[in-house]
């Protein structure tokens, strides 16, 4: 059975041969790819758990709102729901940023570095 590397050596139009791409040159890119794929998998898992939890909290908030007998109770229930929901979304956003930062640091990218043109002096 022919391997891809054998076919690449025989094909003069194969870009891998032109750029001398081999296992050693692909190693850093492969590690970065794996780190980002792991981060994406973790983000998906965390997001799914977050939305499942939020759905339960939303149903509970609607139930509490339906049991209100005065406008003051309804306003209190809505305010409580909004405060809790915004707090949950804020924490979930922080978690996603932490996962992305960890993936970036794992690939050798500087963690916490500000891209050019995005610093406080440029606002």
pLDDT by residue (tens digit) across 51-77?
999 999 999 999 999 999 999 999 999
Domain that holds residue 20: 15-108
10 inside domain: no
68 inside domain: yes
62 inside domain: yes
Read off the pTM: 0.62
For residue 70, give both structure tokens. 């005065």
Total number of domains constituting the chain: 1
User: pLDDT digit string (tens) for 77-116?
Assistant: 999 999 999 999 999 999 999 998 888 886 666 554 544 5
Buried b (16+ CB within 10 A) or exposed e, 79-91: eebeeeeeeeeee
């Amino acid at each position: 059975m022919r391997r891809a590397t054998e076919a690449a050596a025989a094909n003069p139009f194969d870009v891998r041969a032109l750029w001398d791409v081999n296992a050693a040159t692909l190693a850093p890119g492969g590690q970065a790819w794996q780190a980002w794929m792991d981060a994406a998998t973790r983000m998906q898992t965390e997001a799914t758990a977050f939305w499942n939890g939020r759905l339960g909290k939303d149903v509970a908030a609607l139930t509490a709102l339906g049991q209100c007998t005065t406008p003051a109770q309804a306003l209190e229930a809505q305010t409580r729901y909004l405060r809790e929901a915004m707090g949950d979304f804020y924490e979930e956003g922080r978690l996603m940023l932490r996962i992305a930062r960890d993936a970036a640091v794992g690939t050798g990218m500087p963690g916490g570095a500000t891209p050019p043109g995005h610093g406080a002096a440029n606002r």
